[in-house]
Amino acid sequence: MTVWDRPEPPNPPVPLDRELIITAAIALADEGGLEAVSLRKVAARLNAGPMRLYGYISTKQELFDLMVDEVHGEILPEEQPGDWREALRVVAHRTRRAALRHEWLADLLGGRPTLGPNGLAVTEAKLAALDGLADIDTVMRAVETVSAYLIGVIRREIANLRAERATGLSKRDWQRASGPHMTRMLATGRFPALTKAVHDGTDVDPERSFTIGLDWVLDAVALKLSQPPA
């Protein structure tokens, strides 16, 4: 082999850093879902070999944690309104919208404690909104309850969205039990209440149902704020 045959380095190795890796991983996940995120593909986007990433992250799970924290950065509102209720509402809606932008977030939400800086900042914002309005334990319980509701609704909304997409049925049809499976199930007569609900229920769009449920939970919080624990 002469000098002339020697292939020149195809790309001068780009200096890597965590932020670049996270951005690439998020882009991949936005396009093809979480399962499209492989260390090889992330590395390829950055013109690097897979092993190179291990200088910046120590495991794939850690990469996921970093992705989640990055999105928590999008969730943090720039300024907090004074009213606690409005503050919690804003964070909730921002979380939901983030999950609609990054559907994979639903897969990760609540899966691990959120200890990243942005995740903690979001928790801080929730706590701060209620700070001083009740004893600290009540405040914590309130934040935990609202957060739990959030995780649950968002997961369900995304799950339904994917199901509709996969079956090609509109939400209306699906809720109306037009799917052959549901039709068969309901026909057994074992689920009278469900049948009635599917048949007579109004179908509301997810945002509205999200908001209603959220308001209920916030009502419950309001109730406890006005009645300190026994």
Partner DNA sequence: TCTCATAGCGATACACTGTATTTCGGCCTT
Partner DNA sequence: AAGGCCGAAATACAGTGTATCGCTATGAGA
Residues that bind DNA (CB under 7 A): 9, 13, 15-16, 37-41, 47-52, 54-55, 59-61
- Token code pair at residue 169: 């049925």
Binders in 163-222 for a second copy, by CB under 8 A: 163, 181-182, 185, 190-194, 196-197, 200-202, 204, 209, 212-213, 216-217, 219-221
Contact call for residues 57 and 63 (beta carbons, < 8 A): yes
By CB under 8 A, is residue 230 in contact with a second copy? no
By CB under 8 A, is residue 73 in contact with a second copy? no
Q: Which amino acid is at 61?
A: Q
Nearest Cα to 29, choosing from 63, 74, 62, 54? 63
By CB under 8 A, is residue 128 in contact with a second copy? yes
Binders in 145-164 for a second copy, by CB under 8 A: 145, 147-153, 155-156, 159-160, 162-163
Distances in Å between the alpha carbon of 179 and those of 166, 167, 187?
Answer: 12, 8, 12
**Given 14, 51, 120, 187, the residue binding a second copy (CB under 8 A):** 120
Contact call for residues 71 and 102 (beta carbons, < 8 A): yes
Q: Give the nearest distance from C-beta 62 to DNA in angstroms.
A: 8
